[in-house]
Amino acid sequence: MQEVEKVYPFLEEAKKIIITTHQKPDGDAMGAALGLYHFLKQLNHDVTVISPTNWARFLNWMPGCDSVIDYESQKEQSTLLINTADILFCLDFNVLHRTKNMEAVLTNATCLKVLIDHHQQPQEEAFDFGISNVNKSSTCEMVYDFIKSSVHSNLLNKEIAACLYTGIMTDTGSFRFSSTTSHVHRAVADLKDTGIDHSLIFENIYDNFSENRLRFIGNALLNRLEVLYEYNTALMAIPKKDLIKYDISTGDTEGLVNYLLTIEGIKLGALLIDRTEERKWSFRSKGDFDVNVFARTHFEGGGHKNAAGGRSSEDVEENIKKFKTVINQYEQQLQ
């Protein structure tokens, strides 16, 4: 994988470009994709954003989101677009299998493939150009750097800024995580200078949920939370019946795992959700406990040191049993 800067010359003439993200794109993935989309459109490229799956409704306000294609519902069109593309930008994922059913199509695509991502252990052999920097707060911060380092940095506008601000804000926990460097604040100041309304963006992301979601969270905290004080760990397992009862949609469980770390003394928060096709884990930690290693070792996952995910084909009960067994190995680290 060559340095991402070497892709700039390929952008000087109009190309057919596809931008994609991981499945179930969050604010950072969608923000990065749409921010790059608006930048490349100004360079007269034919640009399409394809999401591997559907996405949370609270992202629909983002400029350009109405033009994003859902691969799962438009497979034939999406596949044709990918197969005829000149350049494919892969944002906010480190390995192709994180695009779910798109993996085979992306693997077989013959176009130039460009990675921009901040997760550990990227699949470098799958990309022609790229950058993987785990020290960056978000992929949106990296797309900002990509734009500012180009000869077209003057094209940064309000639409791009709104998208990139969204991802930086969400992936830094509204600027409270340790990844919020001085560079992040300088980038945000630059984005603010375009005229974006940061208060409105915050409202669109965090104050835009259904009543059912709030009741679902209340039920989860009251009935699904288990605190393992001997390991300074909080565990929450959400059965499928809860998702059905409260009519939970994509994105409605976003941020639920973060509640676990608000308990005094808790260093590891683990959330398990019973999805239709598999069980999904979300892990969050404080301090030196590395949930990326934990997820990779035990739950077919990975991510960042303090934020990672995993999966399992086993049922909820087996996952809980396994978690409580393996956590014994980490008792000293969590004290």
Q: What is the pLDDT of residues 165-175, one digit of tens each?
A: 999 999 999 99
Helix (H) or strand (E) holding 199: helix 198-206
Average pLDDT (65-75) is 97
Beta-sheet pairing, 129-132 with 2-3: parallel
Inter-residue contact 57 to 67 (CB < 8 Å): no
- Can you tell me which residue has the tokens 């007269």? 44
Cα gap 50→52, rounded to integer Å = 6
Q: At what angle do helices 158-171 and 139-148 cross, to 10 degrees?
A: 140
Using alpha carbons, list the distances in angstroms from residue 300 to 233, 279, 303: 20, 11, 11
Instruction: Give all domains of the chain, ordered by start, each with its CATH number.
Output: 2-206 (3.90.1640.10), 211-334 (3.10.310.30)
Cα gap 233→259, rounded to integer Å = 12
Where are the extended beta strands (E) located within 219-333?
Answer: 225-228, 233-238, 268-274, 279-285, 302-303, 307-312
**pLDDT value of residue 276:** 80
- Can you tell me which residue has the tokens 């409704």? 57
pLDDT digits (tens, 9 = 90+) for 108-146: 999 999 999 999 889 999 999 999 999 999 999 999 999
Average pLDDT (96-105) is 94
Under the banding of pLDDT at 50, 70 and 90, the label for residue 249 is confident
**pLDDT value of residue 63:** 97
Beta-sheet pairing, 16-20 with 46-51: parallel
pTM above 0.85, yes or no: yes
pLDDT digits (tens, 9 = 90+) for 77-98: 999 999 999 999 999 999 999 9
Under the banding of pLDDT at 50, 70 and 90, the label for residue 304 is confident
**pLDDT value of residue 268:** 97
Cα gap 294→292, rounded to integer Å = 5
Under the banding of pLDDT at 50, 70 and 90, the label for residue 208 is confident
- Looking at the chain, the whole-number percentage of residues with pLDDT higher than 90 is 92
CB within 8 A of 309, min separation 6: which ones?
280, 281, 282, 283, 295, 301, 302, 303
CB within 8 A of 175, min separation 6: which ones?
169, 184, 185, 188
**pLDDT value of residue 256:** 95
The alpha carbon dihedral of 241, 247, 250, 252 has a sign of negative
Average pLDDT (22-38) is 97
Compute the 3-state secondary structure of the chain and give helix, strand, coil in percent, each to the nearest 5: 45, 20, 35
pLDDT of 225 strictly over 90:
yes
Average pLDDT (207-231) is 95
Look up residue 148 and give its two tokens: 């500012």
Cα gap 61→252, rounded to integer Å = 16
CB within 8 A of 248, min separation 6: which ones?
212, 213, 216, 242
Cα gap 38→40, rounded to integer Å = 6
What does the DSSP assignment read for 282-298?
EEEE-TT--HHHHHHHH
